[in-house]
Amino acid sequence: MSTHLSEQELIRREKLAELNKLGIDAYPAPLYPVTHYSTAIKAGFNEDTKEEYKDVCIAGRVMSVRDMGKACFAVLQDSHGRLQVYVRRDDICPGEDKTLYDVVFKKLLDIGDIIGVKGYVFTTKTGETSLHVKELTVLTKSLKPLPVVKEAEGQTFDAVTDPEFKYRQRYADLIINPQVKDTFVKRTILINTIREYLNEHGALEVDTPVLQTIPGGAAARPFSTHHNALDVPMYMRIANELYLKRLIVGGFDWVYEFSRNFRNEGMDRTHNPEFTVLEWYTAYKDYFWMMNVTENLLERIAIALHGTTDVQVGDKTISFKAPFKRLSIFDAIKENTGIDVSEMDEEGLRTVCKQLNIHVDASMGKGKLIDELFGETSEAKCIQPTFIIDYPIEMSPLTKKHRSKEGLVERFELMVNGKEVANAYSELNDPIDQRERFEDQVKLKERGDDEAMFIDYDFLRALEYGMPPTSGIGIGIDRLVMLMTNQPSIQDVLLFPMMRPEKTVE
């Protein structure tokens, strides 16, 4: 970040000073009587409705000006879109003083400034719906020029396509590329659709702690901090699972939360250290029921956003029409490698990983080895929505043992376009079994696995009071938005993704 002012920035500050000398407040009180928006005007105006558009007031950012001497055409961009406005000197300056047009509008306003205009709507000779301005008010002076498209050596270069610029200065990205806003509008529609679905079916939305003394509910490296008043170490939550299960113990049948989670891990196209997960837990249900609900919910989301269950993702068409394919993790590995690893011990798995040139280390137990095998050989091949089910017990310390398959648990992960979107269990509610699983995690931590779980003794105490049979799920909202809006990177669906600190240059 440079603190040096460019020539254009200096000129704009000089113009601001000139406005002040003329007694014009470039940053007036915020109340401005907007009555209409650009897209509604263009959609609603015609010969039959023109009487309704005789007294219109809009506000927006000046995006272009076409000077014709005593009149100008300009384009204003508001929060809904763009509208052409016609500014004539004698209309906004009816008396002898023409300062507002000759000096303020033509000399002291720049592209990017925000103005308010009042007038009536008409259609130009070229058929474009426009606003004939009768009054003009300066609302905000922009001191930094907007990036513009440039032509160089036969190529078009737009600075706002640069990811460093787009993600760090999202505010400028949204101004120059207003279509980017559509992704975030769809994100909100997606979240509202989920809320409507869950509320319709009797679920209760709740809030649980972000600051925790024990980072439980997932295998991940936490961010740590310190609470000064209590003089205790604290962690940013990596998951809200254990708190939601406490509520099931307390007597709620179905609870959910859109949880902002934090994991101290790397960043790539599908990972951001701060992310959003939807988790819900439902008493007296199992993972088969959860698969049915999940596929019905995703089908509803696709229709809400696109009007169809078919969603374009890159060069693929993903069908979210229920039901989805179901495949065990061992069958998936065998299908893609020809090797049956279902009966192998840790050493056998290490041998297979070596044969397949999959990097592993001494800290990895049986569960991590199977996870690596699946991730390297099979995950990317799950393009259409697929429930990968029936995981080994070593991979799932919070999951109920399979009712009929020894050594497995009742768990599924939903894979779409080669990535995990959801993770669900028939939840473990045996406190003695849960304590043993936590103790196994401690042993992994002692071997050097810094993502292994802590023992949450209060959660064990809660389980000892008795948690009814329960099914739970976590859905990665950011990844789901990526899929549903055809965005290639998680940074494209986060308004302000994590970035390296910007260096300040004097």
Q: How far apart are CA 359 and CA 363, in angstroms?
A: 12
Q: What average pLDDT does this structure show over 445-473?
A: 89
Tell me the CATH number for domain 180-324+418-493: 3.30.930.10
Q: pLDDT digit string (tens) for 405-429?
A: 988 899 999 999 999 999 999 999 9
Q: Is 413 annotated as a binding residue?
A: yes
The model's pTM: 0.89
pLDDT on residue 149: 55
pLDDT of residue 152 exceeding 60: no
pLDDT of residue 56 exceeding 80: yes
Place of tokens 């669900």: 424
Q: How far apart are CA 169 and CA 164, in angstroms?
A: 8
Contact between 131 and 120 under an 8 Å Cβ cutoff? The reply is: yes
Contact between 111 and 63 under an 8 Å Cβ cutoff? The reply is: yes
Q: How far apart are CA 191 and CA 203, in angstroms?
A: 15
Q: Is 197 helix (H, G, I), strand (E, B) or coil?
A: helix
Q: What 8-state DSSP symbol labels residue 126?
A: T
Nearest to 493 by CA among 181, 164, 260: 181
Q: What average pLDDT does this structure show over 464-474?
A: 97
Interstrand relation of 386-392 and 408-416 (parallel, antiparallel or unpaired): antiparallel
Q: Is 104 helix (H, G, I), strand (E, B) or coil?
A: helix
pLDDT on residue 156: 47
Instruction: Please state whether 112 falls in left (phi above 0), alpha (psi between -120 and 50) or beta.
Output: left
Q: What average pLDDT does this structure show over 375-400?
A: 91
Q: What 8-state DSSP symbol labels residue 143?
A: -
Q: What 8-state DSSP symbol labels residue 271?
A: B
Sign of CA dihedral 283, 285, 286, 292: negative
Q: How far apart are CA 180 and CA 26, in angstroms?
A: 28
Q: What average pLDDT does this structure show over 461-483?
A: 97
Interstrand relation of 274-283 and 254-262 (parallel, antiparallel or unpaired): antiparallel
Contact between 167 and 497 under an 8 Å Cβ cutoff? The reply is: yes
Report residue 3's pLDDT band, with 50, 70 and 90 as the boundaries. confident
Give the alpha-carbon dihedral of 160, 164, 169, 172, to 10 degrees.
0
Q: How far apart are CA 457 and CA 110, in angstroms?
A: 62
pLDDT on residue 160: 64
Tell me the CATH number for domain 7-140: 2.40.50.140
Q: To which H or E segment does residue 255 belong?
A: strand 254-262
Q: What is the mean pLDDT of the chain?
A: 93
Q: Is 506 helix (H, G, I), strand (E, B) or coil?
A: coil
Give the alpha-carbon dihedral of 31, 33, 38, 41, to 10 degrees.
170
Domain boundaries defined on the chain: 7-140, 180-324+418-493
Q: pLDDT digit string (tens) for 66-75?
A: 999 999 999 9
Angle between helices 180-200 and 477-485 (to 10 degrees): 120
Q: What average pLDDT does this structure show over 368-381?
A: 93
pLDDT on residue 394: 82
